[in-house]
Structure 1
Amino acid sequence: MILEVKGIRKCFGGVVALSDGNLVCRRGKITGLLGANGSGKSTISKIITGVYDADCGEINYNGKCVKYKNPNEARQAGIAMVFQNLSLIPDLTVWQNIVLGAEQKKGIGLDNKCAREISEEIISKLHPGLDINKKVNQLNPGEMQIVEIAKAISAEPKLLILDEPTAALEQAQVKNLFHYMRELANHGVSMIFTSHRMWEVMEICDDVIIFRNGENVASIDFHKEGKDAERIIGYITGDSKKTECEIENRQIAGETVLSIKGMNYGKHLRDISFELRKGEVLGIGGLAGQGQNELLLALAGAYPEMKCEAELKGRKIKLTKPVNAVRNSILLVPGDRQLEGLFLKDSVYKNTIFPKLALKRQPIFTPSKKYRKECEQIVKALSVKTHNIDTPVGTLSGGNQQKVVVGKWLTFDINVLLLADPAKGVDIGAKRDLYQYIVDMVKEKNTSVILYASDSEELIQYCDRVLIMYEGQLVETLEGCDINEDAIVSASMRVNRTTEVN
């Protein structure tokens, strides 16, 4: 046993993040740390690495009781962590970020040759072909995540904590990471791995520890007890509700709500044309970084220089400003909720009413009573866990923050809802709630949805059609029984597929 954590308690103000946190990690094993957003997983990981101080409890590492003052002290002792929020410097290169803070000296200067060699060795296993001389600000989100992982691995830790490392990765990158993780484990490195994707946990972990409401509620050794996904999910959610909602594959033959012709934006979007029908969930698939996010941002009016012909319900519209999209009820749930979707220091209430400021007709005085009532209804409808609507949204768990990002549009009469990877980094229960609400909205209100998801399972389960993007173009349409894992992967990699987009 390399790590044993006992009776950890941590409060932030009046909020109990951990009430009785216990955790064990064995040498050379990969332990899954699971639980809903806000269950205490990230908090206990940050206490182990010295980001936070525990209010009480103890940490035994390598046979000694330890308490680190900061992550650097933990790193020097052999504990490294891959954080959910990236700690990279955008203007530095890949290799400079990987060795940052742990540079080796050569004479009076730094040994840059050695640093490049170390970086190249790690990157070649995680992401073959990634140029280590590229600046981080030139990378896509998945590549940035790879660099963050490489940075932790470069410290040659005895204990590696990975907190949601795969959220921004495509499946091939996840496979490379898992292969490297198993190689590290075979050399005696212990790992704590957090993910909301059950197949990842089943594939890579030797055992799992499950947290709920600030304490661990179960420990399962896969080698002794086997792998039972439903059992694990039951512990995570605390109930036996089905974890996925269902939507049947339907043939959508209704009126065209949105028509896009000849959309072009630099190298990101090239001659994009498609139609969205009323009551349709239209998926956008493909390998990460092929223009999916840019497509949704363009539809939301983020690029003034973007060129296209757009019609909404037969009426020509311009998508050159976000305000135009909002006034036409083309509404975006962005992929990065913290950077693009929320004002973290402001309350749930202020975040919810902010979009209304884009409406053409504004009352002289803000109808606070009306807006507060609407906000409370949204919080109730989406089961947002918050003390009250005046709570700063930045203090909520990731899943509840994402519900607020979706919820701020629910008082609008939605023509098109744009979802950019809405369940990324969201726990199983919150994902179920989000998608169930969206599915119900599609059925009851005939809402039209465009969904980009990095997890192809979400596309398979919820979409009526899937458009595959490759190098900024729409290259294939999948419908009905063709919406499956093999077809999506083949189309994404351009493997012997010829179906045209329509």
Structure 2
Amino acid sequence: MAVLVLEAKGIKKRFGGVVALSDGNLRCYQGRITGLLGANGSGKSTISKIITGVYSADEGEIIYNGKSVKYRNPSEARKDGISMVFQNLSLVPDLTVWQNIVLGAEQKNGIFLDNIHAKELSKKILSQLLPDLDINKKISELNPGEMQIVEIAKAISEDPKLLILDEPTAALEQAQVKSLFISMKSLAQKGVAMIFTSHRLWEVMEICDDVTIFRNGENVANIDFAEDERDPERIVSYITGETQKVSSEKKVSENTNEVVLRINNLNYGKILKDISFDLKKGEILGIGGLAGQGQHELMLALAGSFPGLRCEATIMDKKIRLNKPANAIKNGILLVPGDKHLEGLFLNHSVFDNMIFPKMGNQKHPLFVPFKKYRNECEQVIDVLSIKTSNIDMPVETLSGGNQQKVVVGKWLSFDTNVLLLADPAKGVDVGAKRDLYQFIVNQVRDTKMSVILYASDNEELIQYCDRILIMYEGQIVATLEGDEITDEAIVASSMRIK
């Protein structure tokens, strides 16, 4: 019989007029990995933060190792053996990898910090997670996936008895996810209890021993995979509240040779090398490959983020310069960035302000702001993307991480767009909202003949929605997949240069 490590009973939490948890209940056991699932805003992150002392519960009780606890901050929880990997990274950009891993838990050798021990510990943890990562690199030099690995390593370094992982795989590629799972299984064998949150159901099916599902602030199901089958459709029905199987329409482009965007000999330093491709009208073109092969930089380059970019580019047969964002936007090339906090949002401003901000710099913008029209458009986007907010004047920082991501996407959806650049648009978005988001994009492509370039860290998104996929390796395009060639096996094989 597994030993009960933690039980949360009847947890309630409100933020102003928003009910985050109405009756949250959760159990996790020694040596077991419990999946904590639910739509954005269902209360998953809130109950995790209450357990670790980030928030205090309005009502309810947390029992840890048989004792009622109420931590005042995460530091108290860590001292008691509870560590958490947060969605929003807690790393210091100007410190190195090893310095971040031991930050706040440094050991001393006499009066000095024991840097030798810190480096050895960092190497030991990363040897399983990401062995090629240079521990002397600064965090500011890492890509998002590498940063996430460091955040995970930091939590593991504290030798926790209970490890909470809140969307740890959102920025990771499949190879990195596999390495993380090996580490998690090793920790479970040592008796560590884990709570794992992910919107990728294949991950839940593979790694979890049981799942607890939240909907509208309370848990609606507990499934032990030792007793019940691993049924993804059943889990989705609990998450969404829908009993019918609903799937997004597969994008199938019309046969057209009309080229919207043509890129020839795109080069940027040592990062991007001799990239050439055509994007057809009404096409969804995927960008795939292992993490850190230049995909993120390519999206930024196409959005005009690199002044020193060397490239021959045309849009609708007209020559353009992609040396600044204004040129890209002027020609209808719009970027939905992957890092919502650094690149996509003004967190202390309202949902409405964030939605209309891109319009304000438009050269064709009217002299007087048509607030009524913009507010109606904003309400429509909120409805289409199922953004959970009490009203459009709420600060974006009060929304859950997934709902913030939807605002990043939504602010461009009312534009007349030639090329929409999507950099991992569904990262941190639940299965129901992901379906709605992609269905909206598919409809836009079909109805307006908009063209899309999609980079996704989840191969399933590329397979489901793309007409063609360009595979990148070391800053170059090394393969093109289309039609029946678009399979997970082919993407992985091309990414690893197997064929």
TM-score of Structure 1 vs Structure 2, range by shorter chain: over 0.9
Code of the residue aligned with 2:186 in structure 1: it is: E
Q: Deviations over 1:390-415 (max 9, x none)?
A: 22222222333233222222222111
Aligned to 1:427: 430
Residues 124-143 of structure 1 aligned to structure 2 (within 5 Å) = 124-143=127-146
Length-normalised TM-score, structure 1:
0.96
Q: Distance in 2 between matches of 1:84 and 1:399?
A: 10
Residues 110-259 of structure 1 aligned to structure 2 (within 5 Å) = 110-250=113-253, 252-259=255-262
Aligned to 1:10: 13
Maintained 8 Å contact 2:83/2:155: yes
Q: How far 1:173 sits from its partner (Å)?
A: 1.3
Q: Distance in 2 between matches of 1:14 and 1:248?
A: 40
Aligned to 1:82: 85
Distance verdict in 2 for CA 1:62–1:424, change over 3 Å: same
Length-normalised TM-score, structure 2:
0.97
Among residues 447, 451, 455, which one is paired with 2:454 in the alignment?
Answer: 451
Q: How far 1:493 sits from its partner (Å)?
A: 1.1
Maintained 8 Å contact 1:30/1:191: yes
Distance verdict in 2 for CA 1:331–1:116, change over 3 Å: same
RMSD over aligned Cα atoms:
1.4
Work out whether 1:295 is the aligned partner of 2:329: no
Among residues 96, 100, 105, which one is paired with 1:97 in the alignment?
Answer: 100
Q: Distance in 1 between matches of 2:432 and 2:398?
A: 19
Work out whether 1:318 is the aligned partner of 2:289: no
Q: How far 1:434 sits from its partner (Å)?
A: 0.3
Among residues 291, 304, 307, which one is paired with 1:304 in the alignment?
Answer: 307
Secondary structure at 2:34's aligned position in 1? strand
Residues 457-476 of structure 1 aligned to structure 2 (within 5 Å) = 457-476=460-479
Q: Distance in 1 between matches of 2:6 and 2:489?
A: 40
Code of the residue aligned with 1:9 in structure 2: it is: K
Aligned to 1:500: none
Aligned to 1:375: 378
Code of the residue aligned with 2:461 in structure 1: it is: E
Among residues 41, 47, 61, which one is paired with 1:44 in the alignment?
Answer: 47
Alignment: residue pair count:
496
Q: Distance in 2 between matches of 1:255 and 1:348?
A: 37
Q: How far 1:242 sits from its partner (Å)?
A: 3.4
Code of the residue aligned with 1:291 in structure 2: it is: G
Q: Distance in 2 between matches of 1:243 and 1:159?
A: 36
Q: Distance in 1 between matches of 2:243 and 2:400?
A: 22
Q: Distance in 2 between matches of 1:291 and 1:251?
A: 29
Q: Distance in 2 between matches of 1:208 and 1:264?
A: 46
Work out whether 1:357 is the aligned partner of 2:341: no
Among residues 331, 337, 340, which one is paired with 1:328 in the alignment?
Answer: 331
Maintained 8 Å contact 2:384/2:436: no
Code of the residue aligned with 2:159 in structure 1: it is: E
Q: Distance in 1 between matches of 2:386 and 2:183?
A: 39
Maintained 8 Å contact 1:285/1:488: yes
Maintained 8 Å contact 2:41/2:388: no
Distance verdict in 2 for CA 1:293–1:225, change over 3 Å: same
Maintained 8 Å contact 1:170/1:288: yes
Q: How far 1:243 sits from its partner (Å)?
A: 4.6
Maintained 8 Å contact 1:418/1:450: yes
Work out whether 1:53 is the aligned partner of 2:63: no
Residues 68-79 of structure 1 aligned to structure 2 (within 5 Å) = 68-79=71-82
Q: Deviations over 1:74-110 (max 9, x none)?
A: 1111111111111111111111111111111111111
Among residues 344, 347, 351, which one is paired with 2:350 in the alignment?
Answer: 347
Code of the residue aligned with 1:334 in structure 2: it is: P
Distance verdict in 2 for CA 1:189–1:346, change over 3 Å: same
Among residues 400, 405, 409, which one is paired with 1:406 in the alignment?
Answer: 409
Q: How far 1:142 sits from its partner (Å)?
A: 1.0
Maintained 8 Å contact 2:405/2:427: no
Among residues 263, 266, 274, which one is paired with 2:277 in the alignment?
Answer: 274
Among residues 52, 62, 65, which one is paired with 2:65 in the alignment?
Answer: 62
Q: Distance in 2 between matches of 1:29 and 1:362?
A: 56
Q: Which is worse superposed, 110-119 or 403-412? A: 403-412
Code of the residue aligned with 1:213 in structure 2: it is: N
Secondary structure at 2:367's aligned position in 1? coil
Q: Deviations over 1:6-30 (max 9, x none)?
A: 0111111121111111111111111
Q: Distance in 2 between matches of 1:209 and 1:380?
A: 27
- What stretches of structure 1 of length at least 5 have no aligned partner? 498-502
Aligned to 1:21: 24
Maintained 8 Å contact 2:45/2:166: yes
Code of the residue aligned with 1:90 in structure 2: it is: P
Maintained 8 Å contact 2:18/2:390: no
Secondary structure at 2:227's aligned position in 1? helix
Code of the residue aligned with 2:272 in structure 1: it is: L
Q: Distance in 1 between matches of 2:442 and 2:38?
A: 24
Code of the residue aligned with 2:343 in structure 1: it is: E
Q: Which is worse superposed, 221-230 or 360-369? A: 360-369
**What percent of counterpart residues are identical?**
71
Q: Which is worse superposed, 207-216 or 101-110? A: 101-110
Code of the residue aligned with 2:424 in structure 1: it is: D
Secondary structure at 1:400's aligned position in 2? helix
